[in-house]
Structure 1
Amino acid sequence: MIDFRYHVVSIVAVFLALTVGLVIGSSYLSKVAYDELNNQLSSLRGQNQALHGTQSELDNQVRDRDSLIAALGPDAVAGKLAGHSVAVVMLPGADGSSGDALAALLGKAGAQVTGEVTLKSALLDPGQATKLAATGAKLPAAERGGEQLPSPSPSATAGTPAPVVAMADIAGAVVHRIPANSSGIGEQKITDQASQDVLTAYSNAGFVDVKAAGVASADLVVVLAPPAPSSGSAGNDAADALYLGFLKDLTGGGRSLGAVLAGPASSAASPGLLAAALKDSWVSKNVSTADTADQPSGRIITVFALAEAAGGKTGHYGLTGTADGPLPDLH
């Protein structure tokens, strides 16, 4: 007969065997799992290094391509804007270096660049509205237009918000080619001095920065848009409405021969300003657009679009796939 001690020893032996088996088994499996994870890590590290190498190669190719395009740019645009004067306006947040590079290329295209005007964010600051209105109110009627314009400037309308008044004043100072009067006698312009007085007033008040080139009168204008708001953030409808109104002031009533709204690729997609311009029925028909303007290729596109605008045509160009095509046909 099997006694109780035998049962106890048997049970202890079984549990001891299970424990030993678990220890040995887990050690083996841990090594297998470790080896597998180590192999996967080595594989991912190799893939990551390969991708970094590919990215570096592509970055070098893009840099070399941009260098080539930049070198060929002056020859590509030579003479396209001969006989024209062009103003460059940068909206708040636009890249100043892109404006400088574009102004240089416009000169290579034969244009006389009248200056670069940078609009400051203070124009949109509600806390600056009183100061902005006071600045506009000090301008003489003749400098705002008065009898020199064939019809009153939009800025003269009573009750108009101060930013709208200011932007209309700046538009009239930047490009002030006025069509022939009702008698058909020539082309009228407000004086360069009056234009400079307007820009100086808003500059001294801290609302604009001006790089003047000695002559104020321009018959064409390029407006540089800022990048689109970051992903997930809402667009600024009030700012967009003000900027679109500014474009209308620049081109409406024949004040200029034409205008191009140019900006980085991000601005061509909502909530970017170029995308907003394309959605506005009046602006899209009367103001050309050019995306990727922060790149050498985009600056060339901008010059071609401006040359087309000088001929009375409007189009939307660039490399984002949201445009009519990369370039207008100027032949």
Structure 2
Amino acid sequence: MIDFRYHIVSLISVFLALAVGIILGAGPLKESIGDQLTGQVDALRSDKDALRTELDGAHTALTDTESFVAATAPSLLEGVLPGRRVAIIQLGTIDDAVYDSAAQQILAAGATVSARVQVTDAWTDPAQADTRQSYATSLTEYLDNPAAAEGFDTTLAQVLVNSLADADPANPDVFSSDAGLVRLILVDGKLIEVLTDPQAPADAFVILTPKQAESGAEKTAEATAIAAAAEIEVKLVVAAQAGSEGAVVAGTAPVEGDLISVIRADSALASTLTTVTDLSSITGAVNVPLALAARIGGQVGQFGFGAGATAPAPPAVALEPITRVPSGGDVAPDAGGAEPPAEGDAG
């Protein structure tokens, strides 16, 4: 049993140790300890200064590169998308500066932005599945081949694309009689928001993905939601590609399980769908019209950086100005000698 004397001895030992430490620290070890601590602080300060200098240099180099790309973009993009009408579909809120930069490069390439719409959270929300199914059922009659639509999310994707791309058979510069009605139904159902009124049937599509928060193990629910949404968003990209000359998905930095990552990780999807990353930089914005021109010309790629990227930039493709004729609403472009698209792949 531990008695009172044991505690007394323990306390005396502690105080003796403290006293010895104070005496040594203030005496023979004072200079050694002080010098060691000073040396460590100086080394840390030197490392910090070196890292700051390296970071400043990298930032300057990046700024210079972006300035160069911005200065050369007009000549690089001139005539890349001659006469094309591009509809932009946002899969969420896109920063105004990011959108403006991408739209500016599309215009510089000789194209016009024919429409800008945004799908709402209801487009992918599992809790809204019954609502989507109900609207899809009522909109099936507006599809040329309803039996080919596999599931109600595919139906909605196809009718949205058609509402932005279908032309009047007698006038390819005017929407079909059903296009406006379908858009109105989708808006009333709170499935889409029209950010810019459609001006004319689109020839091609750019699908913009919002920046996603990084999802680690502590954000399992968020990661699951991103992956579930991507499964539905892929159907929209497939519909846009099949229902136009070509489509491109563009976003900032891909996150595991999001739309761009899903496309790049799936060999079948990656062989038919084109993606672009780094949209928040001028380099990524310039890649958007270049990638769209390449896709229209029959070349598929995953452009930018990150997992699954096939090249930093798209190959150069020369497209002829598009020719629109009132013959059943078909668009008859000359894609610079590209092979005719396979059935079901209008790109």
Tell me the TM-score normalized by structure 1. 0.75
Q: Secondary structure at the match of 1:286?
A: coil
Cα distance in 2 for partners of 1:20, 1:310 equals 82
Confirm whether residue 256 of structure 1 aligns to residue 244 of structure 2.
Answer: yes
Q: Quote the residue 2:321 is aligned against.
A: none
Q: Quote the residue 1:118 is aligned against.
A: 118
Cα distance in 2 for partners of 1:153, 1:187 equals 28
The 8 Å contact of residues 87 and 116 in structure 1, kept in 2 or not, is answered as yes
Cα distance in 2 for partners of 1:166, 1:314 equals 25
* Amino acid corresponding to residue 146 of structure 2 in structure 1: P
User: Residues 159-215 of structure 1: CA distance to partner in whole angstroms, max 9, x if unpaired?
Assistant: x44x4443332122233379xxxxxx9998993453233223323443322233552
Q: Quote the residue 2:191 is aligned against.
A: 207
Please tell me whether Structure 1 or Structure 2 has the larger radius of gyration of its CA atoms.
1
C-alpha change, 1:47 and 1:19, in structure 2 (3 Å) is closer
Q: Secondary structure at the match of 1:198?
A: helix
* Amino acid corresponding to residue 82 of structure 1 in structure 2: P
2:206 is aligned, of 222, 239, 251, to 222
Cα distance in 2 for partners of 1:19, 1:49 equals 38
The 8 Å contact of residues 229 and 271 in structure 1, kept in 2 or not, is answered as no
2:146 is aligned, of 116, 136, 152, to 152
* Amino acid corresponding to residue 26 of structure 2 in structure 1: S
The 8 Å contact of residues 260 and 305 in structure 1, kept in 2 or not, is answered as yes
Confirm whether residue 306 of structure 1 aligns to residue 296 of structure 2.
Answer: no
Cα distance in 1 for partners of 2:306, 2:43 equals 35
Cα distance in 2 for partners of 1:125, 1:294 equals 26
Q: Quote the residue 2:72 is aligned against.
A: 72
**Deviates further, 85-94 or 204-213:** 204-213
The 8 Å contact of residues 77 and 304 in structure 1, kept in 2 or not, is answered as yes
Q: Quote the residue 1:5 is aligned against.
A: none
**Deviates further, 236-245 or 18-27:** 18-27
Cα distance in 2 for partners of 1:102, 1:19 equals 68
The 8 Å contact of residues 247 and 283 in structure 1, kept in 2 or not, is answered as no
Cα distance in 2 for partners of 1:19, 1:113 equals 77
Cα distance in 1 for partners of 2:269, 2:174 equals 25
Task: Give 1:91 deviation, angstroms.
Answer: 1.1
C-alpha change, 1:190 and 1:283, in structure 2 (3 Å) is farther
Confirm whether residue 49 of structure 1 aligns to residue 49 of structure 2.
Answer: yes
Gaps of 5+ in 2: 1-16, 319-347
C-alpha change, 1:177 and 1:62, in structure 2 (3 Å) is farther
Q: Secondary structure at the match of 2:80?
A: coil
Q: Quote the residue 1:197 is aligned against.
A: 181
* Amino acid corresponding to residue 25 of structure 1 in structure 2: L
Task: Give aligned-pair identity as a percent.
Answer: 23
Gaps of 5+ in 1: 1-17, 179-184
* Amino acid corresponding to residue 239 of structure 1 in structure 2: A
Q: What is the total number of aligned residue pairs between the two structures?
A: 294
User: Structure 1 or 2: larger helix share?
Assistant: 1
Cα distance in 1 for partners of 2:174, 2:133 equals 22
Q: Quote the residue 2:331 is aligned against.
A: none
Cα distance in 2 for partners of 1:259, 1:285 equals 13
Cα distance in 1 for partners of 2:69, 2:244 equals 30
Cα distance in 2 for partners of 1:24, 1:328 equals 75
The 8 Å contact of residues 69 and 296 in structure 1, kept in 2 or not, is answered as yes
Cα distance in 2 for partners of 1:45, 1:291 equals 37
* Amino acid corresponding to residue 91 of structure 2 in structure 1: L
Q: Quote the residue 1:286 is aligned against.
A: 272
Task: Give 1:283 deviation, angstroms.
Answer: 2.4
